[in-house]
Structure 1
Amino acid sequence: MQVSSPTWETQLGRVSLSLEDGIATITLDNPASHNAVDEPMRAGLAEAYAAIEADERVRVAIIRGSEDGSFCSGGSIDGYLETNAFGPEGSGPPKIPRPYPSRKPYIAAITGYALGGGFSLAISCDLRIAGRHAQMGPTGLRLGAVQGAQTISRLTRLIGASRALGILLLSQRVGAEEAERIGLVHAVAEEGAVFETALSWAGAIARFDPWAVQKTKQLVYEAQHLPLAEAVAWEDEVAAEGYRRPEALAGFLAFKTRRRQGP
């Protein structure tokens, strides 16, 4: 399915948001602090997610750090100290907005550091590609705190309790190749090719029917918590619903035409 969307870009605090050919790109832009999340970036992220969710031209989104910088080094320590997060009446750490549970797929293009809240942000995306020299991991225990921010729950689901405990309790930084080996990232690329690879993945996803993509994502995340019989029944129901849509018939007919034409 060919996607044709106008190209545009806007600045949202310390975040830029662009759209081209159905692919939204969120760029974290605070390079002086390795893209640490301060209040302007926090507000910009929340606004970017809302815009992506509301715009039906967006098929898939990429989150990246500013060029020649890190993905995200976590929350701004100075920013935390300026809030009422601490003490007996403290509100806890300011939240770094994350894409889950967006119905649209997100890809994390990880270069440099993805630490603390930046690590949480990366693993909240559906697909992750890391530069060969990327370093990622939690920082909560190093700061005398529980990592939180969805990190523990999501990390455990991604790589299992045993490996998650090792990373969390030792506050480990995981290199790109090890991250790929244990399933923390889907692929490793040379530093200069991380975003280009993410764009290639996004382009492939953007060509698929958005309803089918979004339902596939929903089934992966939600059906795993159901008893097998219920999960299979739900999957069959969604598949049947898909076949009733005109897009499915069009896709099958187009495939048949291409097959007749040969490779």
Structure 2
Amino acid sequence: MTYDYIRVDREGALTIVTLDRPEAHNALNQPANLELADAFDAFAADDDQWIAIITGSGSKAFCAGHDLKQQASGGGMDSSPRGFAGLTHRFDMFKPVIAAVNGVALGGGFELALACDLIVASETAAFALPETRVGLAALGGGLQRLPREIGLKRAMGLMMTGRRVSAQEGFELGFVNEVAEDALAGARRLAEELLLCSPMSLRATKEAVLRGLAADMANALVEQWAYPTMAAMLASQDAFEGPLAFVEKRKPVWLGR
């Protein structure tokens, strides 16, 4: 598919998705949201793609959220079942996704980053959920994800005031994994570390963790054995290759199946 508002590049098993509306601080209109949903559908379905990075074009913004000009003109907000950027309501994909936050991540842009598994932020990045200041609310998962990641009181302080948080403060609060001079370069380094691991194991880990958050400990420990990605991992060639490579004192050759 040819895209007008995003770019998709594939480098081996790594997919890099770039929001490409720098003139609008990478704010997303409805067509951009649909393009992102399509891009992540394709990533999820491609067995040869194991890790994704999402970033923004330019140096000022990762994503400024919804295109409020579109909304003010009666264009409405995204109604895709996959949510904002095709990712915030996507609960059935267990491949790892890294956010390379190269500038401001505001509103839906912050929610998009929170929907990713890992966040690498540039030193100049900033995060905020400013919806209350424009008569709205963070309905793309921010109200649910941020309290789970940094605690209720801290999250309420950020969500109710709409204040901006620096990359360093985000790291200290715990929702940023790494602050780097160059967010995309840092995300690539992190992706390289993930690519040293079995993609089957990464998916099984992600599914067990996310589903376990919604269950009590006793049930989570039992139910994890029945998760599709866990069953696939335990029956995979990778589950045999990993121990064999350890015994033979060599690097494993992952097949992803």
Partner amino acid for 2:85? P
Q: Which residue of 2 aligns with 1:219?
A: 208
Q: Which residue of 2 aligns with 1:124?
A: 115
Flag the structure with larger Rg.
Answer: 1
Partner amino acid for 2:223? W
Partner amino acid for 1:16? R
CA–CA distance in structure 2, aligned partners of residues 34 and 224 of structure 1: 33
1:217-253 superposed Cα distances (whole Å, 9 cap, x missing partner)? 0011011222221112234566787444332222111
SS for the counterpart of 2:61 is coil
CA–CA distance in structure 2, aligned partners of residues 55 and 107 of structure 1: 17
**Residue-pair matches, total:** 241
Q: Which residue of 1 aligns with 2:36?
A: 45
Matched, 1:205 2:205: no
1:156-196 superposed Cα distances (whole Å, 9 cap, x missing partner)? 11111111101001111110110000111111011xx2111
Residue identity over aligned pairs, in percent, reads: 32
CA–CA distance in structure 2, aligned partners of residues 39 and 138 of structure 1: 20
Whether the aligned pair in 2 keeps the contact of 1:35 and 1:69 (CA below 8 Å) is: no
Q: Which residue of 1 aligns with 2:63?
A: 72
Partner amino acid for 1:231? A
Q: 1:251 to 1:61 in 2, by over 3 A?
A: same
Question: 241-250 or 72-81: which moved more?
Answer: 241-250
Equivalence map 1:6-155=2 (5 Å) = 11-83=2-74, 85=76, 93-95=77-79, 96-99=84-87, 100-101=90-91, 102-155=93-146
Whether the aligned pair in 1 keeps the contact of 2:130 and 2:161 (CA below 8 Å) is: no
SS for the counterpart of 2:63 is coil
CA–CA distance in structure 1, aligned partners of residues 29 and 245 of structure 2: 48
Q: Which residue of 1 aligns with 2:218?
A: 229
Q: CA deviation at 1:137?
A: 0.8
Q: Which residue of 1 aligns with 2:156?
A: 165
Question: 211-220 or 225-234: which moved more?
Answer: 225-234
CA–CA distance in structure 1, aligned partners of residues 52 and 66 of structure 2: 22
1:132-158 superposed Cα distances (whole Å, 9 cap, x missing partner)? 111111121010112211110011111
RMSD value over aligned CA atoms?
1.9
CA–CA distance in structure 1, aligned partners of residues 114 and 215 of structure 2: 22
TM-score, normalised via structure 2 length: 0.87
SS for the counterpart of 1:18 is strand
Whether the aligned pair in 1 keeps the contact of 2:200 and 2:238 (CA below 8 Å) is: no
Whether the aligned pair in 2 keeps the contact of 1:18 and 1:25 (CA below 8 Å) is: yes
CA–CA distance in structure 2, aligned partners of residues 221 and 55 of structure 1: 22
CA–CA distance in structure 1, aligned partners of residues 104 and 222 of structure 2: 42
Ranges in structure 1 where 5+ consecutive residues have no aligned partner: 1-9, 86-92
Q: Which residue of 2 aligns with 1:7?
A: none
1:26-85 superposed Cα distances (whole Å, 9 cap, x missing partner)? 000011111111233112111111111111111010000013341001111111123354
Q: 1:17 to 1:244 in 2, by over 3 A?
A: closer
